[in-house]
Structure 1
Amino acid sequence: MKKITLAVLFVVSSFCVKAQSYIGFLTDNYSGVHGVISNPANIVDSRFKTDVNLIGASVFTGNDYYGVNVLDAIKDDYDFDLDATKSPSNDNNIASYADVMGPSFMFNLNKKSSIAVFTRVRSVLNINEINGTTIDVIDDDETDDFIVNEGDFNVFGQAWAELGVTYARVLLNKEQHFLKGGLTIKYLQGAGSAYAYGKNVTVNYDSDGTPLGGGQTTGSISSTGEVVYGRFVEFEEDDYDYDLPDNATGFGGDLGFVYEWRPNHADYKTTNAKGTPYVHKHENKYKLKLGLSITDIGSIKYKDGIQESFDITNTGVSEDDINDAEDIDDILNSLYTQTGSEIGYTATLPTALHVNADWSFSKRFYVNLNTDLSLISKKKTNASRISNVVSLTPRFESKWFSFYIPVSVIENNGLQAGAGLRTGPLYIGSGSVLSVLTSDNTKGADVYAGLKIPVYQAKPRDKDDDGVIDKLDDCPKEAGPIENNGCPWGDKDQDTVLDNEDECPEIAGPKENKGCPWGDKDGDSVLDNVDECPEVIGEADNKGCPWPDTDKDGVLDKDDQCIDVVGTVANNGCPEVAPEPIAPEPVVTQEVQKTLNDYAKTILFNSGKSSIKAESNEVLSEIVKILQEYPNAKFSIEGHTDSVGSDLLNKRLSDSRANAVKKFLINNGVDQFRLTSKGYGESKPIANNATSSGREQNRRVEINLAK
């Protein structure tokens, strides 16, 4: 009896529940979909586009009674009774916890929200308030008899599967303040459960208290107290084709929030010339991150479960009767008095509060402080419970590799130190491996490992290496300046002046005028680039400046034959001199005038220009002869055009052509003071400009006697 009892206690005590699965790994910003385990808000604004967990398992072991040197304990000659360290008390606790995360995934719905779907299989066993001195009494080698004064105890174990859906969203993103929240809804499928709790329980074992006759004896057990025993009926069936029952389901939920302080938030945002921002998704942005969550709110209803109450007060129960019973249910119902029975009970999940703080020393080094507090009392029946824990975890973290060393103080287990790493799709670690390898009094151990398919947020690319990331580059395959959003400067008006330097990008103009056409500020038909007096109306013959009148006699210098002497207009700016008697001058008659104009109309010019065609030289020579016949007569040479083209250009062309005829006549012997020239453009037509023949008549030069 003693050996059986000790074996059961030792096996059960080899497991210890802790506050969270995957210790160390869950502090990693690259834990991905696993983040929903501790706080559902973790999955939004993460470093992942998507994350797929293939399989992962986390198992914890330990107790607060036995402590061992693990390296010695694996040797063949290790004796747990002699070599293990024992810490008996009136309130020893034993528990176990396993967490298997099956196929699960998370992905981003948009910039502000994410979703995760996950599957988990979990089991929890809690044995609370066991009198540890009982084990010492049973293990006393000096006698086979023992008396146990257990008092009250509470034992509960269950296993279940979860299908969870998590939604997380950014709630606040204002400069250095960032807040996100998340909610998980879980469908729970119970796989089995059993529990027992007792009040005022005592056991007195007399190793030879029951006579069998013929001088033979067996053990005798006397006991007092009350025991409640419940179980889900299929939990104990030995059926290798076990199916999950329909009448053991429930719902659960997790709720969490994460606040990030981002004093350097501007360093993680790029803005193009249009003012469009891009936030770097691949980088952590916080200096301090604070998390708060409540997990495992809910329960499982075992509708077909059985709950029975017993008064175990009895004396002289034969040990053989206990050994011959099929199970605990058979022992209680055959040897003790049933005081009550119910069908169906509810099992509560291990509800817990999680408080987390993460400090970033740099982009790679962090330290995390995590506290997990059970919201379930040890005395609560039909309820799973976690152990309270405080963990400090320094870590190195990058996209493809992380390493962490968690140091934890765990309720009923004391101080533990571990290590873990993540490298690409593999994660593996333990929250206690360093303690296990170095301590002579190890009361707990854990390990986890798994595989996943991570798809990380990529660093923004710049394919054309122009300093503008592709997300903001209007021309991602062609290099261009930042101020033009990554596109090369164009030349809309094709005037060879690029648009960034062209002050008139849609109107062609010379480079000398910054891509704008030359203007005519004073409206004298001389463009500003050649007008030496751009703000004063002048003459084309004088480079856009007005002709001066040096002697102020009313005759412009260009016409004044005595520039520095006041004269009269009639005498071409010279003082009047008494004329000498001269012979009467020949008079220019209307017939002569008509002959001159008939000749003048035949003068031909190169198209659109003021240059005279060579074939007109003969006509001009005849005109020279006529003018020389009247040496004192003055003539006005007048240029005219049709209405094709702008008035300004036509006036300029007619003026140039009249001046060209004047220049020819002077060069061929006609006194320049006898001639004036002027262009009238299209203002004096002699025929209808609507017909080609009319326009031909209007394109002419006239030579008229000056009046």
Structure 2
Amino acid sequence: MIKKAFLVLILLLSYTLQSQSFFGSQYDNYAGIYSVMNNPANIADSRFKSDINIVSGSFFAGSDYYAVKIGDLLSNSDFEAYAKKTPSDNNNLYTNVDFLGPSFLLNIDDNSTFGFFTRARGIGHASEINGLFLEKIQEDIEEDIDIQNQNFSIATNSWFEVGLSYARILFNNERHFIKGGGSVKYIGGLYSGYIKARNLSITYDYTGLELTNTTTTSGEIETGNISSLENFDDPIDNRGSGFGTDIGFTYELRTNESNANSSNAYNKYLVKFGVSVTDIGNIKFKEGEKVVYEADASYTDAEYAINDDFDSYYTRISESKSFNVSLPTALHFNADWNAYEKFYLNVNTDLNMNKETKPNSNYIKNTFSMTPRYESRWFSIYLPFSVVEDSGFLSGFGFRAGPITLGSGSLFNGLFGYSNAVDVHLGIKIPLYHTDK
């Protein structure tokens, strides 16, 4: 039973195949519709008449337990054979996938811009897991195990979004420039399943025989939409719905030199600052099943092999037929400095605003990044340097060439050593730029 619980954690990563989206690329002045995801104000006074996304996506997986090399990841299918492990009393695993479907922005006039987007997202995590326990159970268990007072949580959530954005210039006196924007979005819940342990203790008495190998547990377990560890990837059939919103503002300091060309085809700031709050809202699963169990039980491997349902061993304390899942609400601060002509330096902070230990919590990982870049109308390159919660320091590379954007915020870590994170982003779109006056 205990080894199967570990396999669920691996499944959690492989199922979602998913902290942050589109590392380094969103703050390019030619990011277009991509920029609406972190700050909807950015689409106003953009360098585009219109920007049409065909398909784009990003994938991130990070952990303070596993570290991998990119070469091993691409050439070896046996993940456990090459992954480096750093067990502790409190390990965390996190995955995030983000797909942007058919979407566009349309410049209405010199002051206003309208956007429409479709998006599919998924976040999975295993939080506050005892890594020493995980390390022991990666092979067939042939020893006694005793783990006390665990408060881990395991959750996966996926949903789609259909949203509208509007942004406009709020103030402009040629030196000080302010714009604001917001997005409203319908949320369709696709999947939700979670387990939250409360003071859970697990003792495994190994005898060498399935009939007498015994697992004894005590404490509480809260579950959402699942009936056993074995069906974590196939939860109770259910769909959710809800609404969300994003809001943001951007300030630009302009000088006589930076503001020399009044054409919408050119950037005009020396430095700009942005602040935004994204993913305010939640998803309600009306027909979901939320159950709290008293997990005081004892059973053999043979019994568990026949029946693995929680109800077979644990006592229901409370239950309900619906539950809410918060969107991964985040606060973003951004500063962008035009250092020299087409060379820029961007500093960005993404801060989680949800409690990570809450049952079925949906959240981002706190991230600080610094990204120097060269940008022009048809070509940009960027070098993101980031510190991501639980994954540490990451460095990568990305570029934009006309309609294509490709990059990774952790590329150099994985190429030259072990990395606690792996990510990639790719986008294909049709840019329609403003032209010189």
TM range (shorter): over 0.9
1:328-364 per-position Cα deviation (integer Å, ceiling 9, x unaligned): xx52111111111101111100000000000101231
Q: Does 1:458 align with 2:406?
A: no
Residues 17 and 356 from structure 1, CA distance in 2 versus in 1: closer, same or farther, beyond 3 angstroms? farther
Cα displacement (A) at 1:232: 7.7
1:406-465 per-position Cα deviation (integer Å, ceiling 9, x unaligned): 0100000001111111111111111111111012x21110011121010000011xxxxx
Partners of 2:372 and 2:17 lie apart in 1 by 24
Q: Output aligned runs, 1:62-73, within 5 Å.
A: 62-72=62-72
Residues 374 and 186 from structure 1, CA distance in 2 versus in 1: closer, same or farther, beyond 3 angstroms? same
Partners of 2:8 and 2:97 lie apart in 1 by 20
Q: In 1, are the aligned partners of 2:285 and 2:324 still within 8 Å (CA)?
A: yes
Q: Which residue does 1:99 correspond to in 2?
A: 98
Counterpart of 1:87, as a letter, is T
Aligned-residue CA RMSD (Å): 2.5
Secondary structure, aligned partner of 1:322: helix
Partners of 1:191 and 1:80 lie apart in 2 by 30
1:453-490 per-position Cα deviation (integer Å, ceiling 9, x unaligned): 10000011xxxxxxxxxxxxxxxxxxxxxxxxxxxxxx
Q: Which residue does 1:508 correspond to in 2?
A: none
Counterpart of 1:35, as a letter, is S
Partners of 2:252 and 2:416 lie apart in 1 by 37
Q: In 2, are the aligned partners of 1:268 and 1:280 still within 8 Å (CA)?
A: no
Q: Which residue does 2:27 correspond to in 1?
A: 27
Cα displacement (A) at 1:89: 1.9
Q: Which residue does 1:222 correspond to in 2?
A: 216
Which deviates further from its counterpart, 87-96 or 301-310? 87-96
Partners of 2:280 and 2:263 lie apart in 1 by 35
Partners of 1:411 and 1:132 lie apart in 2 by 17
Residues 197 and 314 from structure 1, CA distance in 2 versus in 1: closer, same or farther, beyond 3 angstroms? same
Give 1:398's match in structure 2, choosing from 360, 366, 376.
376
1:43-71 per-position Cα deviation (integer Å, ceiling 9, x unaligned): 00000000000110111122110123332
Matched pairs, number: 433
Cα displacement (A) at 1:378: 1.3
Give 2:244's match in structure 1, choosing from 245, 252, 263.
252
Secondary structure, aligned partner of 1:199: strand
Q: Does 1:320 align with 2:297?
A: no
Residues 73 and 398 from structure 1, CA distance in 2 versus in 1: closer, same or farther, beyond 3 angstroms? closer
Q: TM-score normalised to the size of structure 2?
A: 0.92
Partners of 1:179 and 1:192 lie apart in 2 by 39
Structure with more of its chain in helix, by fraction: 1
Give 1:447's match in structure 2, choosing from 416, 419, 424.
424
Q: In 1, are the aligned partners of 2:225 and 2:288 still within 8 Å (CA)?
A: yes
Secondary structure, aligned partner of 2:265: coil
Partners of 1:2 and 1:431 lie apart in 2 by 35
Cα displacement (A) at 1:202: 1.0
Q: Output aligned runs, 1:128-147, within 5 Å.
A: 128-139=127-138, 143-147=142-146
Residues 355 and 190 from structure 1, CA distance in 2 versus in 1: closer, same or farther, beyond 3 angstroms? same
Q: Which residue does 1:55 correspond to in 2?
A: 55
Q: In 1, are the aligned partners of 2:395 and 2:413 still within 8 Å (CA)?
A: yes
Residues 148 and 74 from structure 1, CA distance in 2 versus in 1: closer, same or farther, beyond 3 angstroms? farther
Partners of 1:2 and 1:333 lie apart in 2 by 17
Counterpart of 2:305, as a letter, is N
1:294-329 per-position Cα deviation (integer Å, ceiling 9, x unaligned): 0000001111111011111112x021222223xxxx
Partners of 1:426 and 1:314 lie apart in 2 by 56
Secondary structure, aligned partner of 2:302: helix
Q: TM-score normalised to the size of structure 1?
A: 0.58
Which deviates further from its counterpart, 127-136 or 418-427? 127-136
Q: Which residue does 2:386 correspond to in 1?
A: 408
What is the percent sequence identity of the aligned residues?
39
1:148-173 per-position Cα deviation (integer Å, ceiling 9, x unaligned): 22521122221111011111010110
Partners of 1:170 and 1:142 lie apart in 2 by 63
Larger Rg: 1
Q: Output aligned runs, 1:75-474, within 5 Å.
A: 75=75, 80=80, 84-139=83-138, 143-208=142-207, 217-231=211-225, 245=239, 248-264=240-256, 267-269=259-261, 279-315=262-298, 317-325=299-307, 331-439=309-417, 441-460=418-437
Secondary structure, aligned partner of 2:241: strand
1:604-660 per-position Cα deviation (integer Å, ceiling 9, x unaligned): xxxxxxxxxxxxxxxxxxxxxxxxxxxxxxxxxxxxxxxxxxxxxxxxxxxxxxxxx
Residues 357 and 76 from structure 1, CA distance in 2 versus in 1: closer, same or farther, beyond 3 angstroms? closer
Residues 219 and 32 from structure 1, CA distance in 2 versus in 1: closer, same or farther, beyond 3 angstroms? same
Q: Which residue does 1:690 correspond to in 2?
A: none
Residues 209 and 228 from structure 1, CA distance in 2 versus in 1: closer, same or farther, beyond 3 angstroms? farther
Partners of 2:394 and 2:191 lie apart in 1 by 31
Partners of 1:232 and 1:142 lie apart in 2 by 25
Partners of 2:55 and 2:123 lie apart in 1 by 20
